[in-house]
Amino acid sequence: MTTPAKPPPSVPCPICGNPAPFSPENPFRPFCSERCKLIDLGQWAKEDYRIPLAEEETEKGEDLN
């Protein structure tokens, strides 16, 4: 007798919050759908997300513009 396979862990989609299976079978992980994946890509392209500079980089007196 075999035991039933456990369902993959579910994580909240970073865009809409719906549960998304976190497994190789979900090609959009950690997103729930292609739509949410593309929304996230668009936010990166519009520079809505930014990685802050380290403090020591700004203290060196470098021109950041």
Instruction: Determine the residue type at 37.
Output: K
Buried-state track 25-64, b at ≥16 Cβ within 10 A, e below 16:
ebebbbbbeeebbeebeeeeeeeeeeeeeeeeeeeeeeee
The ranges assigned to domains in the chain are 11-58
CA distances, 46 to each of 13, 16, 20, 41 (Å): 20, 19, 25, 9
CATH architecture of 11-58: 2-Layer Sandwich (3.30)
pTM: 0.67
Q: Which two tokens stand for residue 52?
A: 């802050």
**Mind listing the pLDDT tens digit for each residue in 2-52?**
777 888 899 999 999 999 999 999 999 999 999 999 999 999 999 998 888
